[in-house]
Amino acid sequence: PLGHIVIVGAGFAGLTAAKYLREWSAGNIKVTIIEPNPQFISCPQSNLVLGGSRTLDDLSFSYALSRKQHDLQWIQDSVTAIDLANKQVTLARGKLHYDRLILAPGVDFDYSRIPGMASPVADIPHAWKAGKQTLQLRQQLEGMPDGGVFVMTIPKAPYRCPPGPYERACQVAHYFKQHKPRSKVIILDSNADITSKKGLFLQSFQGDYQGIIDYHNNSEILQLDIASKTIKTDFETVQASVLNVIPPQLAGKVAQAAGLANVDQHWCEVDFVTYASTLDSHVHVIGDSISAGLPKSAHMATSQAKICAAAIIAVQSGRPPNPLPVFANTCYSFVDDRQAMHVANVYRYDPVKKTMATAEGGGVSTKASVQEGDYAQAWAQNIWADTLT
Ligand code: FAD
């Protein structure tokens, strides 16, 4: 009786929204979720597959429990277009009407901004969506001779998971230190600086991984030669044995196609009380596709999903949504197989600036530790359980 909500994407954001729409409406909202992938694969901890302490199986989960438990209508397909005027989405198999739409398609990659690599190249994986490419990159590292060079390029922010590339560098260095001690990790960061856990990552780069990790800031790709895996920047030319280009990012393709990526044509602007798009009050956008100073993390995506679900239930019931949402974000990074470190913050809605603002408090670890590695594992198990059951 409270309407039909269609959700595009069963990642961290979409699946969490589906669960809480059903739970908090006591089953009074019909939820249809559209997702092409047969199973859920977690990006969090996927860098540890590169380091060798996790397998992709450890991070792969069935959608079956969630579907059954919350009685979700499930369509395994992709949305190719959205008809905003008629409130319909187009799938390969036909059209579907919605009362409200939640878009949670994650990020898409913009190859047009990589000089020399205008489209994906089969043996240069990004591995920035966990899955086949994560395994491919691990196999490339395993196949690389000792003394080889792993080069990773980092796109201009904002991109999915701000500390993710630096965690990846540590994981690859951890593998090299054990199995290929003469090998090197070169990070070409197009940003001026490390924006997340900088001091902590530098401790690792200059401590455990001294002589292995070589970090270069302000190093945008000026030219990339695919055949020789050579990259030219303002300062140098480097040749990779294994090349990992993390492409520049923008909102999921379906959000762009619907014209909802209204910030620099890259990200979707939303009202942070309901997560409604500023272009269409019946389309809500959550997760990595939104524009905000908020880090693009799984923890954020699930927090936004809960606020969005509660707001939709309120509005569909004729009540005002909570005017002052608040949530937390904790992000752990593993520096080896056991030690991790964190950054944590609380965010409160600022009604004057109409955005989520970092509240006082919060903080970062003083150093990476095994104890925090245990906390990081517990964090992952909790977010998987919350999202997938
Ligand atoms: P996703 O989880 O990517 O889900 C989007 C879903 O939408 C996908 O399943 C996709 O198939 C589907 N979809 C896309 N287009 C369509 C369409 N047209 N029709 C139907 N379905 C569609 N975050 C943390 O909090 N902690 C971490 O430790 C952490 N580590 C990370 C490490 C790495 C290496 C990476 C890459 C990311 C990491 N993240 C981490 C970030 C986290 O993975 C993302 O922020 C999170 O996945 C965002 O959730 P989302 O639901 O917006 O997108």
For every one of its 389 residues, what pLDDT tens digit does the chain have, with 9 covering 90 and above?
A: 899 999 999 999 999 999 999 999 999 999 999 999 999 999 999 999 999 999 999 999 999 999 999 999 999 999 999 999 999 999 988 999 999 999 999 999 999 999 999 999 999 999 999 999 999 999 999 999 999 999 999 999 999 999 999 999 999 999 999 999 999 999 999 999 998 899 999 999 999 999 999 999 999 999 999 999 999 999 999 999 999 999 999 999 999 999 999 998 899 999 999 999 999 999 999 999 999 788 999 999 999 999 999 999 999 999 999 999 999 999 999 999 999 999 999 999 999 999 999 998 889 999 999 999 999 999 999 999 999 99
Structure tokens at 257: 């196609």
Of 7, 19, 102, 160, the one to substitute when testing ligand 1's pocket (max ligand atoms within 8 A of C-beta) is: 160
Q: Which residues does 374 contact at the CB level (< 8 Å), separation at least 6?
A: none
Residue with tokens 């997760």, as numbered in its chain: 287
- The pLDDT score that the predictor gives to residue 1 is 83
Q: How many whole angstroms from 56 Cα to the centroid of ligand 1?
A: 15
Compute the distance between CA of residue 188 and CA of residue 152 in angstroms, rounded to an integer.
6
- The pLDDT score that the predictor gives to residue 366 is 94
Residue 163 Cβ < 6 Å to ligand 1: no
What's the farthest any 2 CA atoms get from each other in the chain? 65
Residue closest by Cα to atom 9 of ligand 1: 11
Task: Identify the helix (H) or strand (E) that includes residue 244.
Answer: strand 242-245
Residue closest by Cα to atom 3 of ligand 1: 106
CB 388 within 8 A of CB 40: yes
Residue 104 Cβ < 6 Å to ligand 1: yes
For 328, other C-beta atoms within 10 Å of its C-beta total: 13
Long-range residue pairs from 361-366, CB within 8 A, at least 24 positions apart, any chain: 364/197, 364/199, 364/200, 365/197, 365/200, 365/341
Residue 105 Cβ < 6 Å to ligand 1: yes
Q: How many whole angstroms from 41 Cα to the centroid of ligand 1?
A: 9
Backbone angles phi, psi at 131, to 5 degrees: 155, -140
Residue 134 Cβ < 6 Å to ligand 1: no
Residue 138 Cβ < 6 Å to ligand 1: no
CB 159 within 8 A of CB 296: yes
Residue with tokens 């390029």, as numbered in its chain: 153
Reported ipTM exceeds the 0.95 cut: yes
Cα–Cα nearest to 19, from 288, 29, 101, 277: 29
- The pLDDT score that the predictor gives to residue 361 is 87
Q: Which residues does 138 contact at the CB level (< 8 Å), separation at least 6?
A: 49, 50, 52
Task: Identify the helix (H) or strand (E) that includes residue 310.
Answer: helix 298-316
Q: How many whole angstroms from 211 Cα to the centroid of ligand 1?
A: 33
Compute the distance between CA of residue 271 and CA of residue 281 in angstroms, rounded to an integer.
9
Angle between helices 12-24 and 370-388 (to 10 degrees): 60
Compute the distance between CA of residue 9 and CA of residue 105 in angstroms, rounded to an integer.
5
Q: How many whole angstroms from 16 Cα to the centroid of ligand 1?
A: 12
Instruction: Compute CA distances 67 → 1, 44, 291, 351, whole Å.
Output: 20, 22, 29, 36
Compute the distance between CA of residue 137 and CA of residue 325 in angstroms, rounded to an integer.
40
Compute the distance between CA of residue 86 and CA of residue 102 in angstroms, rounded to an integer.
15
Compute the distance between CA of residue 144 and CA of residue 147 in angstroms, rounded to an integer.
8
Residue 295 Cβ < 6 Å to ligand 1: no
Residue 44 Cβ < 6 Å to ligand 1: yes
Residue 160 Cβ < 6 Å to ligand 1: yes
Residue 301 Cβ < 6 Å to ligand 1: yes
Residue 14 Cβ < 6 Å to ligand 1: yes
Residue 35 Cβ < 6 Å to ligand 1: yes
